[in-house]
């Protein structure tokens, strides 16, 4: 396997310089199952684990490798030890308000993300907004792929609505099933580019994947919605080298991507509201009943739609909720640490 075919770049080569003296190799994470990684390298496929030293050095979950990451390894036979994580340029992660983990890594180093939407009755602007927030937050470039043009309804109106909320984002219309319009995706499928598909279940992600690969790699959902056998989950191939030379990442995490919270993402996806908010009289304006509220004024004169403001406020609330959860956790951690420190200080006092 050639590293260029896996998406190796000059930037990565530079970041490898500090390790050049040691006889280490690089690999790209193709699959992860808990502590076990599958890597693609110049020497083929390797099963890998994180070295004890690396694990010891890792402070945060974000510093552990996930699918799409480049890692430095020491290989013996067909197994490898992951020693370092090379810097990533984008990262899909999910903040979870849970007891044990606060961040879940989904995929790293995506260049572009195809947000697949059905032009049938699945079409939903508010859902598209949410996905766009997630994609912006990852650092990858979003491309909206409107699938099922063959059975699409109200296509022109929907395009107009979409252009209003997705300013500057490429919009492509295709029929994955009938292999129509897929050439329009070529600019983002150049050799070495890494892409992923996201979108709700049933929009045609598997169908599109199979078309891009040129063979059946992902099981397409049965046409009958009530098929009790469900779908085959042949999602074993998570990093797929496409005939175009691009790399497609297809992980369960990306497929199940639903709710998202974002820091910069919300502002980028709703930048026209943030721009309006800059003109409110009060800096901490909640855009409710405050005098001199530019957002309310825009609602009044039809410049802004109420549904759009509502999704903005909903996302901001979710974000605030998760931040509070994380703050609580951080406080508990700090308390526990201080308890530990005072305990060891007391012990030291006893020994002196």
Which residues contact ligand GDP (rule: CB under 6 A)? 147-148, 150-151, 175-178, 201-207, 220-221, 223
Burial class of residue 152, CB neighbours in 10 A (0-12, 13-18, 19+)? middle
Q: Residues 273-302 vs Zn ion: string with x where CB under 5 A?
A: -------x----x-x-----x-x-------
280 binds, among Zn ion, ligand GDP, none (CB under 5 to 8 A by kind): Zn ion
Tell me how far, at minimum, the Cβ of 256 lies from ligand GDP, in Å. Answer: 11
- What residue has token string 């721009």? 275
For the bound state, the minimum distance from the C-beta of residue 175 to ligand GDP, rounded and expressed in Å, comes to 4
Per DSSP (E only), the strands in the chain are 25-33, 36-41, 44-50, 70-76, 79-85, 91-95, 103-108, 112-118, 141-147, 171-173, 194-198, 239-241, 247-249
CB of 308 to ligand GDP, least distance (A): 26
Return the one option of Zn ion, ligand GDP, none that residue 80 interacts with (CB less than 5 to 8 A, by type).
none
Rounded least distance, CB 218 to ligand GDP, Å: 7
Tell the smallest beta-carbon distance from residue 289 to Zn ion (Å). 10
Tokens 């697949």, located at residue: 116
CB of 178 to ligand GDP, least distance (A): 6
Least separation, in Å, of the C-beta of 217 and ligand GDP? 12
Alpha-helical runs (H) found in 22-64? 52-57
Q: How far is Cα 312 from Cα 130, in angstroms, rounded to an integer?
A: 9
186-245 positions binding Zn ion, by CB under 5 A: none
**184 contact choice in Zn ion, ligand GDP, none (CB below 5 to 8 Å, kind-dependent):** none
Who contacts 7 (Cβ-Cβ below 8 Å, separation ≥6)?
A: 28, 109, 192, 193, 194, 247
If the CB atoms of residues 195 and 304 are measured against ligand GDP, the closer one turns out to be 195
Dist CA 64 CA 287 (whole Å): 40
DSSP characters over 121-155: TT--HHHHHHHHHHHHHHTPEEEEEEE-GGG-SSH
Residue 295 interacts with, from Zn ion, ligand GDP, none (CB under 5-8 Å by kind): Zn ion
* DSSP output for 293-306: -HHHHHHHTTSS-H
107: contact with Zn ion by CB under 5 A: no
Residues sharing a CB contact under 8 Å with residue 182, sequence separation 6 or more, in sequence order: 174, 176, 208, 211, 212
Nearer to ligand GDP, 240 or 299 (CB): 240
138 binds, among Zn ion, ligand GDP, none (CB under 5 to 8 A by kind): none
Answer with the entry of ligand GDP, Zn ion, none that 207 interacts with (C-beta below 5 to 8 A by kind): ligand GDP
11 binds, among ligand GDP, Zn ion, none (CB under 5 to 8 A by kind): none
List the beta bridge partners of residue 144.
115, 171
Q: Which is nearer to ligand GDP, 53 or 178 (CB)?
A: 178
Which among 115, 134, 114 is positioned nearest to 187, based on CA atoms?
A: 114
Considering beta carbons, is residue 114 or 260 the nearer one to ligand GDP? 114
Q: 202 is in the binding site of which of ligand GDP, Zn ion, none (Cβ under 5 to 8 A by kind)? A: ligand GDP
Nearer to Zn ion, 120 or 290 (CB): 290
Instruction: Give the nearest distance from C-beta 303 to Zn ion in angstroms.
Output: 13
Residues near Zn ion, by CB under 5 A? 280, 285, 287, 293, 295
């Amino acid at each position: 396997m050639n590293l260029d075919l896996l998406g190796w770049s000059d930037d990565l080569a530079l970041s490898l310089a500090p390790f050049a003296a040691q006889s280490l190799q690089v690999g790209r994470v193709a699959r992860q199952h808990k502590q076990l990684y599958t890597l693609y390298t110049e020497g083929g496929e390797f099963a890998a684990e994180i070295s004890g030293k690396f694990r010891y050095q890792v402070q945060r979950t974000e510093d552990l490798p996930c699918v799409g990451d480049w890692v430095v390894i020491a290989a013996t036979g067909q197994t490898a030890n992951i020693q370092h994580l090379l810097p990533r340029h984008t990262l899909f992660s999910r903040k979870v308000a849970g007891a044990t983990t606060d961040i879940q890594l989904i995929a790293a180093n995506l260049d572009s993300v195809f947000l697949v939407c059905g032009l049938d009755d699945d079409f939903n602007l508010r859902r598209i907004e949410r996905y766009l927030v997630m994609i912006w937050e990852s650092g990858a470039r979003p491309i909206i792929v409107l699938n099922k043009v063959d059975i699409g309804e109200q296509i022109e109106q929907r395009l107009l609505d979409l252009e209003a909320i997705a300013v500057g984002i490429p919009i492509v219309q295709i029929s994955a099933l009938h292999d129509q319009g897929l050439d329009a995706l070529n600019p983002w499928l150049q050799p070495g580019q890494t892409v992923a598909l996201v979108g709700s279940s049933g929009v045609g992600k598997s169908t599109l994947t199979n078309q891009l690969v040129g063979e059946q790699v992902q099981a397409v959902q049965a046409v009958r919605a009530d098929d009790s056998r469900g779908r085959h989950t042949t999602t074993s191939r998570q990093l797929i080298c496409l005939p175009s030379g691009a790399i497609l990442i297809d992980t369960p995490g990306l497929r199940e991507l639903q709710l998202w919270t974002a820091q910069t993402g919300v502002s980028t996806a709703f930048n026209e509201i943030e721009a309006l908010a800059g003109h409110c009289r009060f800096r901490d304006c909640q855009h409710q009943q405050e005098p001199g509220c530019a957002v309310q004024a825009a609602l009044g004169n039809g410049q802004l739609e109420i549904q759009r403001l509502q999704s903005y406020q909903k996302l901001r609330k979710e974000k605030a909720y998760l931040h509070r959860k994380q703050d609580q956790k951080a406080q508990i951690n700090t308390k526990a640490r201080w308890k530990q420190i005072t305990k060891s200080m007391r012990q030291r006092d006893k020994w002196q």
